[in-house]
Chain A
Amino acid sequence: MSHRSARHSRAIAVAAASAMLITLAACSTPAAQSPDAPAPGVTDDTVTIGTHQPLTGPAAAGYSSISAATQAYFDYVNSTGGINGRTIEYLVKDDGYNPATTQTVVRELVQDDDVFAILNGLGTPTHTSVLDYLNQKKVPDLFVASGSTSWNQPEKYPYTFAFNADYVTEGEALAQYATDEFAGKKVCLLGQDDDFGDEFITGAQNVLGADGLTSVQRYSVSNQDVVAQISAMKAAGCEINMLATVNGFTALAIGTAAKLGWFTQWFSSSSGADYPTLVGFLGEDVGPKLLQGFVSSNYLPARQGNDWSELFEKINTEFNDGAPFDGNTMFGMSVGYLFAEALAAAGENPTRESLLEAVTSGDLVGNGILPLSFGDDSHAAYTGVGITTVDQGVQDYIGTTYVSDGKGSVSVSDAEPVAVENEGVPASAE
């Protein structure tokens, strides 16, 4: 008798669960898409795209303002009538920097929200977990927010495109700058204990030689105590200290060194070199002093003193509730601009194919300090970086730009920064 009721209980439970799910569901059979149907996410007057970002969780601190900036840029474009008469709807999903959540929210975006493309998914471990999925589903996966070299594999991942200059390139450029300007000094490196650190070290060693680094230290994001590492670098007599660190740990490294009475030269990857953010961590009182002479690489317009920064600052005031204007704002809006440019070039009636063609055509220019290198055989956005320094609280380019040949050597480039046209709204297709 009790067995019978056991069966009943399970049957009832399943029936109840099914009933609940049915109400949520629509029917599913794999249907072939008719060629005339509009692309997913595209209507007569909107284009819907999505992204996954760490809005919560421990990683949120550094990055949660990026998508808000991108959104603000799209609001600006939409206020001028959008691209080819379509406004851009940007769906931002929080993944808490957790790959499992990324997988869920990206499937939700693709299957439930029917997005046209995924834009600027943030983070190496998170985005890696959906790379195969997006390419299987043939969803354009544009301008990933991470400097991993994984995104530039046109053969394996034809739908994925990078945005950041990759970490190898940054390591190479900073090492080359050290060699060119600080010859004979002892170069050391502090890197995160993941691909960020690994690839940055590879880049530095490409230029300096396998034993060119006097001391290589690693840190783990779960341990906010870098005294042991910094004291080892100090003891090794390091003079140029390269950093593959996120903003918080750049600040920790510099702050810890200062506590040890060590005031040295820092060379940081763009991922951890945002001046206002660093001052926020270090404090208004000592931050500017500790950051004087701070060297870093970058590929986007500087935060002040150029046409792009003026335009974006205006957009930030008007469409982003005047949120602090920092490197994340610049990054987010630059991503938005590049997507708008690609969408405009994808034609009057954009499809996923035409969007990819627009990106690989090599005609996109973006807004960086050097040209984009997208093409049929390159899904890397920027293959070079410029050197910036901090002087009297102003972080700006010094005019030296390095380009990597992708084979381990870098050369000085004379590329010109891209100028603002049409008030920062990419011209629609003719």
Chain B
Amino acid sequence: MDRLLFLLATGIARGAIFALFALALVLIWRAARIVNFSQGAMAVVATYVAFAVTAFTGSYWAGLASALVAGAVLGYVVDRGVMRFAPHDSPLAGVIIAIGVVMVLQSALGIAFGQQYRPMAAPFDQSPILIGGVPVFSPYDVFVLVVAVVVMAALALLFTRTSLGLQLRASAFAPEVSRLLGVRVSRMLTIGWMLAAAVGALAALLLVPTELGLSPHSADMLFVYAFTVAVVGGLDSPVGALVGGLIVGVAISLVTGYLGATVAPIAVLVLLVAVLLVRPGGIFSAREARVA
């Protein structure tokens, strides 16, 4: 029982990061109808910026702020520099270009910084607090959860309560009508990219201190798991990203704990296929997935 509690807690903490990253995928999907396969690589670039800034200033928070800025800038560059020119009539073109972006960014990082892991310190203690003798969340886990909840709440407010949010939603769902109504659809699209990339960068930044360290491949598995999360939840649904993140995080933790680490990727594949066969648009899809 203690072990189950412990594994659940670990899974939730990890799942929060997956959820955050999946949210970034959902944001871009809603805005541009593109699954951004380059999200992981973009986030790692931003994390390298944070690493450099933290090393230079000695402040984790300066690093975190710079990761957000770097993420947004990258989002701008990737959208305006590349994705904007992707053919719109084909769902494949965006994916293929994104794969190209991954290859370029990762190899550029490898050339610039080499392959070695760079340890990143967490801003809070990572030792779990004992509750009734069972180690549950560490202060760092709590920090991650709080950040995830705050970001999601802020985005929810942005989208539902502000004029900008309304314009963002409008240009995503009815670009032609929005344009007629005076919404700058193109600018909204770019803002969507910048928002999403910043959120993705934040997720990677939160993940790295729990792992070996920062390397060009740090976010490879994060992307795969978060993509599973987004698909399980439904690519159109921010709530789905949150719930999916918790499901996948807990599932991986339980499988690793009870069946072994080796089985985890197989469990992810099975979960993904099972959900998609039952609901091809994900659990929280309101309807048949839109034709991309």
Given contacts A259-B127, A260-B128, A281-B213, contact A228 B261 (CB under 8 A): yes
**CB-contact partner of B127 in A56, A219, A252, A261, under 8 A:** A261
**CB-contact partner of B115 in A61, A193, A224, under 8 A:** A61
CB neighbours of A248 from chain B (8 A): 117, 212
Q: State which residues 179-235 of A face B: CB under 8 Å.
A: 193, 218-220, 222-229, 231-232, 235
**CB-contact partner of A260 in B3, B121, B135, B257, under 8 A:** B135
* Closest-CB distance, B211 to chain A (whole angstroms): 4
A60 CA to B211 CA, complexed, in Å: 17
A158 CA to B265 CA, complexed, in Å: 39
**CB-contact partner of A225 in B2, B14, B119, B262, under 8 A:** B14
A57 CA to B256 CA, complexed, in Å: 25
CB neighbours of A249 from chain B (8 A): 212
Given contacts A231-B6, A248-B117, A282-B119, contact A226 B261 (CB under 8 A): yes
B178 interface residue (CB < 8 Å to A): no
Q: State which residues 125-170 of B face A: CB under 8 Å.
A: 126-128, 135, 138
Q: Which residue of A lies closest to B10 (CB)?
A: A227
A225/B210 in contact, CB under 8 A: yes
A281 CA to B214 CA, complexed, in Å: 10
Q: State which residues 187-214 of B face A: CB under 8 Å.
A: 210-213
Contact with A along B202-246 (1 / 0, CB 8 A): 000000001111010100010000000000000000000000000
B91 interface residue (CB < 8 Å to A): no
B100 interface residue (CB < 8 Å to A): no
A281/B117 in contact, CB under 8 A: yes
**CB-contact partner of B10 in A193, A228, A235, under 8 A:** A228
**CB-contact partner of A259 in B128, B213, B261, under 8 A:** B128
A85 interface residue (CB < 8 Å to B): no
**CB-contact partner of A261 in B135, B217, B260, under 8 A:** B135
* Closest-CB distance, A282 to chain B (whole angstroms): 7
CB neighbours of A220 from chain B (8 A): 261-262, 264-265
B116 interface residue (CB < 8 Å to A): yes
CB neighbours of B215 from chain A (8 A): 58, 61
CB neighbours of A283 from chain B (8 A): 119, 121
Chain B: interface residue count, which band? 20 to 34
A72 CA to B138 CA, complexed, in Å: 46
Given contacts A223-B256, A224-B212, contact A61 B116 (CB under 8 A): yes
A-B contact count (CB 8 A): 83
A248 CA to B215 CA, complexed, in Å: 12
**CB-contact partner of A229 in B121, B127, B221, B261, under 8 A:** B261
A231/B3 in contact, CB under 8 A: yes
B213/A228 in contact, CB under 8 A: no
B253 interface residue (CB < 8 Å to A): yes
A268 CA to B137 CA, complexed, in Å: 29
Given contacts A251-B212, A259-B127, A260-B127, contact A61 B256 (CB under 8 A): no
Q: State which residues 239-280 of B face A: CB under 8 Å.
A: 253, 256-257, 260-262, 264-265
A193 CA to B259 CA, complexed, in Å: 13
CB neighbours of A282 from chain B (8 A): 119
Residues of A within 8 A of B (CB): 56-58, 60-61, 64, 193, 218-220, 222-229, 231-232, 235, 248-249, 251-252, 258-261, 280-283
Between A and B, 21 residue pairs with Cβ closer than 8 Å are A58-B215, A61-B117, A64-B115, A193-B261, A220-B264, A222-B265, A223-B261, A226-B261, A228-B256, A228-B261, A231-B257, A232-B3, A235-B3, A248-B117, A251-B212, A252-B211, A259-B126, A261-B127, A261-B128, A281-B119, A282-B119
Which are the 6 A-B pairs with shortest beta-carbon distances? Answer: A60-B115, A228-B257, A224-B211, A228-B256, A220-B261, A259-B126
